[in-house]
Structures are given as C-alpha cells and as structure tokens.
Amino acid sequence: MLSLPIIDAQPKSSPPLPTSRAEMAALLGRNTKTPLKTGHWLLLAIGLHQAWLGMISIVAFSLGLATVLVAFGAGVALLQTHSSALLQRLPGGSNGALGSLTTRATQWLPAASAILITTAGALMLLAQLA
C-alpha cells in the first residue's frame, strides 16, 4: 500500500508587525532617517511572512503611477486638441515665422526626445558599470 507523507497545513505564526519607523528600520538594518522605498517594503513583507503587506504596497504604487500617467496623457491630449487655435493666436498665424518654427519643431521633437531618453539611459547604465 502506498503511503503519502503527512503535510502540516497549519500556518506558521508570524512575528508581530513593526509599529514604529525605528522598528521597521531595525528589521531592515537601516538608518531611521532614510526613507523606505518600494523594494524595501516588499522585502519587509517577505521577512514578516505577510503577503498582503507586499500586495498593498504594489497596488498603491501602481495606482499612483497610473494616476500620473493618465493625468499626463490627458494634458497632452488637451494641448493637442487646442493646438490649432493656439497657432492662430501667434503673430502671423500658422504661416508666420513663429508658426513655421512651431511646425518644424513638431516634426523633429519626437526624434529629439527619443535621443534624449536613450542618452540618459545609456549614461545611467555607464554610471552603474563604472
């Protein structure tokens, strides 16, 4: 007859959650004046065997990031819808010197921002490798 191993299904007791910033810092081995980052919260949740604490921090971070991205996108969309009216208010309208400069800028601005972001990423990478 085949016997199956007995698995203890009782959860281990978790240590109590830290109640102060000093207790959290001591648990992580950090200075109390240094702010806790998202990664530290996740490590703290793993160390305390409290998955819900890690999930709450991930959800809070994600909601904050989503809010910022939606607000930025809404601002860009609003600016884009009113750009033709703004161009007409420039001296000479959209055919004047300032209007033609704006038209040319809209053509090269996406490439310039891509080059800027790529350069910033490469510099950060080089700084970490050095």
Q: What is the tens place of the pLDDT at every residue in 45-74? A: 777 777 787 788 788 889 999 999 999 999
In a shared domain, residues 98 and 120: yes
* pLDDT at position 74: 93
39: in domain = yes
In a shared domain, residues 22 and 77: yes
100: in domain = yes
Distance CA 91, CA 129 (A): 50
Q: Which residue has the higher pLDDT, 51 or 7?
A: 51
Structure tokens belonging to residue 41: 């919260």
Provide, rounded to the nearest whole percent, the portion of the chain with pLDDT above 70.
Answer: 62
5: in domain = no
Structural domain for 63, as ranges: 18-81
Distance CA 55, CA 41 (A): 10
Q: Which residue has the higher pLDDT, 100 or 67?
A: 67
Structure tokens belonging to residue 94: 């959209």
What is the number of domains present in the chain?
A: 2
In a shared domain, residues 99 and 65: no
In a shared domain, residues 22 and 75: yes
Out of 43, 59, 81, a domain closes at 81
Least confident interval from 5-19, 52-66, 95-109? 5-19
State the Cα angle at 99 between 95 and 104, rounded to 5°. Answer: 110
